[in-house]
Amino acid sequence: MSTVNTMRAISQDVLGGPEVLKEVELERPVPRTNEVLVRVRAAGLNPTDWKHRAAGLFLGEPPFVLGWDLSGVVEAVGLGASGFTPGDEVFGMLPYPYGAGAHAEYVVAPARALVPKPAVIDHVQAGALPLVALTAWQALVERADLQPGQRILIHAAAGGVGHVAVQIAKARGAYVIGTASSGKHDFLRKLGVDEVIDYRETDFAEAVKDVDVVLDTVGGDHSLRSLPVLRPGGVVVSILPGAGEELYTEAERLGVRAEFVLVDADRAGMRAIAELVEAGKLRPTIAGTFPLADAAGAHALGDTGRTTGKLVLTVD
């Protein structure tokens, strides 16, 4: 049980499966200059969480506390962190990748990573949004400059990033083509997807042509195979590394572009996302919620790769 100076958090001492995650008691952090201490109410999970748990990735060897998404209440404000006062409801993404730590009762965040939580959504919905929404926003708006009337192909359109990217693309007036298994087609149509492709039955490379933008949330050879479906001057934006130099060489040969986006904490992007939420144009689909103590259960479900939408940890 946490005391006034401690908190519960989910940590791990070794890399491995969900069973390595343990609830521990840690010292409650104190906000430094330009930082805010947030009492976490909900914290989203993303594939990067299970990848870090299993392989370390950017964070290296444990111990560490995972989690980048958060929604909660300001508890204390450091010097210079203007614009926030204790009691404010906020949401945002901790700096990726080295700022992880949201899977805890409290976390310190740079003030500029946070914005006011829209009153039209609860903490679970707000906690589900930041990482996937910033990823989609930075890919579609900042890199691809998606415009009204343009055609976009979104791979894995029912996934965490995918279903949010669909809504952002529709809000920008685009024509959206999405790939997903047949059981998720009705879900995508309700989000506004104009054409759905069952990737198990149809090769997107043969079914799609003359699109302006492709968002690759899958990785592997999807970016490379997507280049020929673009119109001249079009762009493939991948959110996963590893496509290799061949991707950029082939893109140049075909007269198109290839871009890679690694999500970055950004107040302007979060404000744009909050505006879409307030306008009723963006809502996350919640695949499941788990109490903080059962983070391992959430990771086990995430490991299946079969969820629609987002998994979220709730903190009492």
Across 82-103, average pLDDT: 97
DSSP codes joined into one string, 199-243: TTTS-HHHH--SEEEEEE-S-TTHHHHHGGGEEEEEEEEESSS--
Pair 42, 72: CB distance under 8 Å: yes
Signed CA dihedral, 286, 189, 218, 244: sign only: negative
130 vs 286: CA distance, rounded Å: 14
- Alpha helix stretches (DSSP H) within the chain: 47-55, 123-128, 130-137, 160-171, 185-191, 204-207, 222-226, 245-254, 267-278, 295-303
Compute the C-alpha angle 266/290/268, nearest 5°: 10
What structural domains does the chain harbor? Answer: 6-129+284-314 (3.90.180.10), 132-260 (3.40.50.720)
Pair 43, 90: CB distance under 8 Å: no
Question: Dihedrals φ, ψ of 229, to 5°?
Answer: -85, -5
CA atoms within 13 A on the CB side of 99: 19
Instruction: Provide, rounded to the nearest whole percent, the portion of the chain with pLDDT above 90.
Output: 95
- Both tokens of 253, joined, read 């040969």
188 vs 158: CA distance, rounded Å: 7
| Span 23-42, pLDDT tens digits | 999 999 999 999 999 999 99
| Span 120-173, pLDDT tens digits | 999 999 999 999 999 999 999 999 999 999 999 999 999 999 999 999 999 999
| Span 182-221, pLDDT tens digits | 999 999 999 999 999 999 999 999 999 999 999 999 999 9
Pair 156, 270: CB distance under 8 Å: no
Instruction: Provide, rounded to the nearest whole percent, the portion of the chain with pLDDT above 70.
Output: 99
Q: Is 112 helix (H, G, I), strand (E, B) or coil?
A: helix
Across 59-68, average pLDDT: 98
| Span 267-316, pLDDT tens digits | 999 999 999 999 999 999 999 999 999 999 999 999 998 899 999 999 98
pLDDT for residue 241 is more than 90: no
Q: Which residues, 6 or more positions from 232, have their beta carbon under 8 angstroms from its beta carbon?
A: 255, 256
- Both tokens of 165, joined, read 């990217």
Q: Is 73 helix (H, G, I), strand (E, B) or coil?
A: strand
Q: What is the structure's pLDDT at 97?
A: 97
Q: What is the structure's pLDDT at 316?
A: 87
Q: Which residue has the tokens 């987002």?
A: 310
Which pLDDT band, with edges at 50, 70 and 90, does 1 fall under? Answer: low
Q: What is the structure's pLDDT at 285?
A: 98
- Cβ count within 10 A of residue 85: 11
Average pLDDT across the chain, whole number: 96
164 vs 123: CA distance, rounded Å: 17
Across 94-115, average pLDDT: 98
Across 68-74, average pLDDT: 98
284 vs 277: CA distance, rounded Å: 9
Across 58-64, average pLDDT: 97
Pair 134, 270: CB distance under 8 Å: yes
Q: Is 142 helix (H, G, I), strand (E, B) or coil?
A: helix
